[in-house]
Structure 1
Amino acid sequence: MRVLGSGSPRRSVGSRSGSAAGRPGRRPPHWLLERGLNSRAPVYVHVGGCWNARHRADGVSREQALRALAEGLPACSHCRPDTELGYVDG
C-alpha cells in the first residue's frame, strides 16, 4: 500500500521552516488581536490562523481575547472568534 504525500517536497519544506524559525514544535496561537495601521491599538479579534488577520496580529490567551470582546473590540466577521469562544454579547 502506498501512502500519498510521504516524502513529498511540501512536507520537507514545512519541517525545515519550523526549525529555521528556531522554534521547533511551537504551535500557532489560538487567538489573535489585529493591530491597526498605527501598530498600537487593536482593531479586531481573530481565531488563530484566520486568513484575514494580516501581519499585524499578536497571539493572545483565551482570557485576553474574551476580555477584548467584552470591552467592545469587534470580532472578525470571517473567522467568528466570538462564536468559537462562546461569547454572547450583552
Structure 2
Amino acid sequence: MPPDLERLLTLRVWHAMWLVRIDHKIAELQKREAERENGRRVRPAKPEWIVQLSIGTGRPPVQVSAGDCYKCGRGGCPLCTWCMEPVQQKWGPGVRYVSTRS
C-alpha cells in the first residue's frame, strides 16, 4: 500500500470506478437472463402441421410435415419417414402420402 494519502485516495477512486462497472455488468447479465427466461415461458407451442407452399400462381401445397419433424425446413419429403409413423399412430392408418406435384 502507498504510504501517502494522495495515492490512497487515487486507488480508492479507481476501485470505486471498477465497482460501478462491475455492478452495471451484473445488472446487464441479470436483465438478459430474465429476458431469456421470459422468452422460454411465453414461447408459442410448436405447430401440429407445417405446410410448404409452392411458388407461382395459386401456390398449392407441396409438402406437409408434422410440426416436430426435424427435417422440416430442410427439404423434407411430404410426411417423410421421420414424421409419418407418429402421425399414423395419432391419426390412424388412413393417413397416407398423396403427391400434390404434377
Say whether the fold is shared (TM-score over 0.5).
no
Specify the TM-score bucket, using the shorter chain as the normaliser: 0.3 to 0.5
TM-score for the superposition, normalised by structure 1: 0.41
Higher strand share: 1
Kindly indicate whether structure 1 or structure 2 has the higher relative contact order, using CA contacts under 8 Å at least 6 residues apart: 1
Query: In terms of Rg, which structure is larger?
Result: 2
Higher helix share: 2
